[in-house]
Amino acid sequence: MQITPSAKAVLEKRYLMRDAEGRPIETVEDMFRRVADAVAQADAAYGGNVSRSAEEFYQMMTQLEFLPNSPTLMNAGRPLGQLSACFVLPVGDSMEEIFESVKNAALIHKSGGGTGFAFSRLRPKGAAVNSTGGVASGPVSFMRVFNAATEAVKQGGTRRGANMGILRVDHPDILEFIQCKNDTSQITNFNISVGITEAFMQAVEAGQDYDLIHPTTGCVAGRLSARAVLEAIVRSAWQTGEPGIIFLDRLNRDNPIPTQGQIESTNPCGEQPLLPYESCNLGSINLAAHLRRTENGWALDEEHLIQTVHRAVHFLDNVIDINRYPLPQIAETTLASRKIGLGVMGFGDMLLRLGIAYNSTRGVDLAHQIMNLIQTEGHQASARLAEIRGPFPLFRQSVYADATPLRNATVTTIAPTGTLSIIAGVSSGVEPVFAYAYIRNIMDGTQFVETNAILRQTLEEAGICSDALLKEIARQGSLTHVAGIPREIRDVFVCAHDVSPTWHVQMQAAFQAHTDNAVSKTVNFPHSATKEEVEEVYRLAWKLGCKGITIYRDGSRNEQVLNMGTASQTPAAAPAFGTLKPRPRPAVTAGYTEKVRIGCGNLYITVNSDENGICEVFTNTGKSGGCPSQSEATARLVSIAIRSGVDPQEIIHQLKGIRCPSTIRQPGLAVTSCPDAIAKVLEKVWNTQTGETPLPAGSAASGRFCPECGEPLEHEGGCVICRSCGYSRCG
């Protein structure tokens, strides 16, 4: 099999079995063989050919045609054996029920899963608590408890799964919930979404007020303007990317087993609606691997795709049987419905091969065609399994009771595939390619350009490929304004930020039309987007039949690195001699980040700028150790000095050449200490802003920094992903 160096690095770091010293003891092929053999064992209970299934599963994975969710790759055939990505737990309105869920969430996160919660049953802040004579603290306060508990689990070992918190729009505490993550340092282990009802959206359209309902009494507890609440959601999402919205009535319209209760929550990325104690068992087909060359170019290999769909459904159904669930209630509930979620990745790459623009009617039409085929064949595959193995136990209580028996209550889901897409070497989920080229910088000036293979091949065939051109594409983050690229190439090779928000929504709606569950996707906005434009997308998502929507406005978080363009070249004017007071730090900055190897590991240095020039320096040591307090103190003092009008060149002069024993002991390092590294990066940015030298471009990312390696994060597929180390918030 052929995998990229990035894929190999991610697999070695996160997926391969290791010995007591942390050294990998299996190859990538060994990992896939381990998973295939373990999953195929389920066939024995149904009289199937275990060895044949194992070989089919192995070939499917090693050819990168299909990959299951990360827990299956990590844990199949190993003692833990927990193969599900995410779970939904109930949160009842009593102290006993709340802390039972906290305990269960901790056990799930310990096993590597993520959790979704609906806090809508909790009484609002200030409501009477009869058992104690006190008053309730409200859903948001208990979200902080859940956040702290899962954070403690995470700190006790490797990274664990994320959380989803959902509150109905008609809960009396909805405004507090909407704003609870405006401070992005709070409730960091949760994604949050507002559960939107059809009645609410109709009130928005009509400009009417709507009722707030007390969850324990069912009585009207107040009224709010629907448009004002939507504006509050928009304002917070515009500012931070959260909350997302989930259309609850649509989730329940497609609830296959309504006799078991209402769906109130989803997994952390919002694409898998689940009843309490259900789990999601996901996998994704690599669409780019299902193309064939013809005399007229590339074309979809439908027979190959149909074969993979049937094998993938078989694989995922087997996962349900061999899974070791973290709680008995989860095992019972999951086995009763046998929900699976077969999705896709590499759609963006498929479009590139076919010469179809993502933001085009042809692109949307292809989405309909592809997903309709997968949906139809997926249900047929489930029906064939039902003939051999029997339908899911709750089939007679389901909406399918009078139709052809199915093995699985749901079959298709479009999940984010951040880490899986790195392994497969393709675009994530149903997203457009985020960026076509990345420049990795080394402190000594060496630069390594990572380029989308299809773009490189296309440029080579056009006779225009060069290192200089690829660096310019990486610097700009898009092909749109790069000179020398023919229009027919620019029009097809659009990146996420070239696609207008309305096209993002249309594409999501196309996939949603043929998906049992929901679609995880990010609607990317430029930094200049207005709140009105965000609101328009929310309304469009509702009108086009989406089950939820997540947006991210480029640069909406203070920690974000510069994506496109450069900072102002006008430095701040120095104040008169005397007591200096730094000018305030702006709410939004643009920045440049560089990884520098120091004596203790890696130091990530960010230099931010506003309209007046450089305004801030900060550092991040990631997990490398070193002297984080000293480097942070240096960066803070540099920041204050610059905002007070001190000439950056004077700061650079004072810091350059400071020596540290840990650096001196390691020959070949380009810096002599953390302060020296800070000075050299600061100098590089200063020279750029004053026109001395061009700034080496960083990764075209649009998120905060990776908590594991310090590189920028990308927002895509309703989640975040680090292209450098494979970290994903969603597992």
Active site residue 267: yes
Cα–Cα nearest to 316, from 639, 488, 66: 66
Cα torsion at 413, 418, 422, 424 (round to 10°)?
0
Q: Is 271 among the residues known to form the active site?
A: yes
Residues 6 or more apart from 353 whose CB is under 8 A from it?
288, 291, 298, 454
Cα 45 versus chain centre, distance = 37
DSSP lists the bridge partners of residue 294 as 297
Torsion sign over Cα 574, 575, 576, 580? negative
| Known catalytic membership, residue 709 | no
Tokens at 388, concatenated:
């051999």
Task: Out of 267, 286, 318, 408, pick the active-site residue.
Answer: 267
| Residues, the chain | 731
Angle at 119 (CA atoms; ends 116, 123), nearest 5 degrees: 165
Q: Are 42 and 12 in contact (CB under 8 A)?
A: no
Pairing label, strands 279-280, 86-89: antiparallel
CB 531 within 8 A of CB 234: yes
Cross-strand bridge partners of residue 439: 449
Catalytic one of 86, 269, 546, 719? 269
Locate the DSSP E strands across 500-622: 522-525, 548-553, 590-598, 601-610, 613-620
The secondary structure of 249-310 as a DSSP string is HHHHHT-S-GGG----EE-TTSS-EE-TT-EE-EEEEEGGGGEEEETTEEEE-HHHHHHHHH
Q: At CA 109, angle to CA 105 and CA 114, rounded to 5?
A: 85
Coil/strand/helix, residue 556: coil
Dist. CA 109–CA 164, nearest whole Å: 13
Cα atoms in the Cβ-side hemisphere of radius 13 Å centred on 424? 32
Cα separation, 73 vs 28, in Å, equals 11
Q: How far is CA 2 from CA 15, 28, 572, in A?
A: 17, 10, 52
Measured between its terminal Cα atoms, the distance across the chain in Å is 24
- Rounded distance, CA 705 to CA 703, Å? 7
Q: Which of 56, 65, 271, 594 is catalytic?
A: 271
Cβ 197 vs Cβ 146: under 8 Å: no
Considering only CA atoms, which of 605, 601, 669, 592 is closest in space to residue 631? 605
DSSP letter string, 13-73: HHTS-B-TTS-B-S-HHHHHHHHHHHHHGGGGGGT--HHHHHHHHHHHHHTTSEEE-HHHH
Residue 116, classified by CB atoms within 10 Å of its CB into exposed (0-12), middle (13-18) or buried (19+), is: buried
Question: Which residue's structure tokens are 């990764």?
Answer: 699
Q: Which amino acid is at 450?
A: E
What's the token pair of residue 20? 């007591």
- What residue has token string 């900072």? 567
258-290 burial by CB neighbour count: b if 16+ within 10 A, else e? eebeebbbbbbbbbbbbbbbbbbbbbbbbbbbb
Residues 476 and 273: their CA atoms lie apart, in Å, by 38
Task: List residues bridging with 89 in a β-sheet.
Answer: 117
Q: What is the DSSP letter of 560?
A: P
List the catalytic residues. 267, 269, 271
